[in-house]
Every structure is written in C-alpha cells, then in structure tokens.
Amino acid sequence: EKSPRKHKVPLTASEALKFFKNQLSTYEQSEILGYTELWFLGLEAKKLNVPSENFGASSFDDEHGSYMKVLHDHIAYRYEVLEMIGKGSFGQVAKCLDHKNNEFVALKIIRNKKRFHHQALVELKILEALRRKDKDNSHNVVHMKEFFYFRNHLCITFELLGINLYELMKNNSFQGFSLSIVRRFTLSVLKCLQMLYVEKIIHCDLKPVSTAPRSHRASLHDRAFARRRLNGISGLGSE
C-alpha cells in the first residue's frame, strides 16, 4: 500500500499504525491511541525504545526527573524538537516546530518532580492572567500559547523570541548602545512593569538574560514571577 502524501495531516491513530507501525517504537504504538490528531511522528529520529510492559511514570526521564529529549523526535505528536535553548532547575526549554500551526515555538518541559510541578501550576495561573490582561500584545511580556501533559511532564509553549539582552550586549562586545535604543528598551520594560504592578505581580529576577529585544523594544520573560494574591498562595520567589 502507498503511504499517505506528506501533506495529509493530521493522521489518525489507525492511519499511523497502518502506514508507519514499523517506524514507531513499541510504546508509541499504544500511546498514539490516546491522540485524535497526529501532526508529526518523528520517524527519522533515534527514538527511546521503552517497551510498554516496562513503562513507568519516569521511563523517559533521567535521574533528575528531566525529560530525555531526542532531536527531531516529536513532543505530543505535534512538536518537532529542533534544539535545546535553555535549562534550569525547573527543567528545560526546546526550540520546536509546531507542525499544526507551522510556526516555531519555545517549549518548556517541566521536570517530573512534585515540587517543580506545583510551582509550574502556579506559573500557569500567572501566565493566564497576563495573557488576559495583554490581549493586544502591547505590554511587552512573553505570551504563553498552550499547555499540556506529555509522558508525565507538564509542557508549556510560548512565542519564540530572539536573543536576550545579555547576548545582544555580548555580540556588541559590551560597548553599550546608543541613547535612543536604551530609551526604547527602558520604556518597553517600564510599560511591562507598570502592568505587573497593577496586577500585583512581581518579577523576582529582572536582568538582561530575561529581557528579549525585538523591533527596538524589549519583552520580559522568565518564570521568576511572584503574585501576592493568587488563590491564597503568597511569596513564590525565583528559583
């Protein structure tokens, strides 16, 4: 039988098993049954082969609870892992191609540990609040796109920004910028901080690394937000 044309997406689980079963891992052959749409299968990747009978809650994790990523494999049968662009105590961030929307995104994969999962849930509430308050994308804060679970890891996707302010300064040999550019960046950051102040949100780790210039303005990102009144949770600082 001929395989479906490449542009024929999304696939159903039955279609994927019909045409590509031998290229899927044993675990994936059962995992895909839980998905109604399959946008990317990562067929060229060197997949982690975890037999279904040996599967546990941490079968795809390293000893620290971080997801063992594989370049050009899928995340949730939609995102293709292109490169790793960040890592912290919370987990890791990958640059991915979203095969559903045909766009690049930053995908944060939270460690499979209870305390990091709890912190990430608080972060999600804050990100939702910021998204509601900045619907027109005028307050210079990075926007969350979606969140979901994949192999016991909470995953959050964001718009993909360029290099951060520290990297930009480094590329400029730390010579500094013109006063007009500094003014634009400063006004952008202050506009964001003004919105955070109104919403009683504190950015706990404001620095060049968490500021991403774009089109002569700057956007704040990083998970180091604390909200003073968020369902009774108080004072969650940076890691």
* Residue list for the binding site for ATP: 108
């774009």: which residue's tokens? 214
By the 10 Å C-beta count (0-12 exposed, 13-18 middle, 19+ buried), 66 is classed as buried
Q: Which two tokens stand for residue 47?
A: 């997949």
Beta bridge partner(s), residue 61: 67
Distance CA(15)–CA(17), nearest Å, equals 5
Active site residue 222: no
Q: Which two tokens stand for residue 69?
A: 């990523």
Active-site annotation holder among 73, 134, 205, 222: 205
For residue 78, report the phi and psi dihedrals to the nearest 5 degrees. Answer: -145, -40
Distance CA(52)–CA(43), nearest Å, equals 19
The secondary element (H helix, E strand) that includes residue 218 is: strand 217-220
For residue 87, report the phi and psi dihedrals to the nearest 5 degrees. Answer: -155, 140
For 21-161, where are the E strands, in sequence order? 74-75, 79-88, 91-98, 103-110, 144-150, 153-159
Of 211, 220, 207, 92, nearest in space to 156 by CA: 92
Which residues have a catalytic role annotated? 205
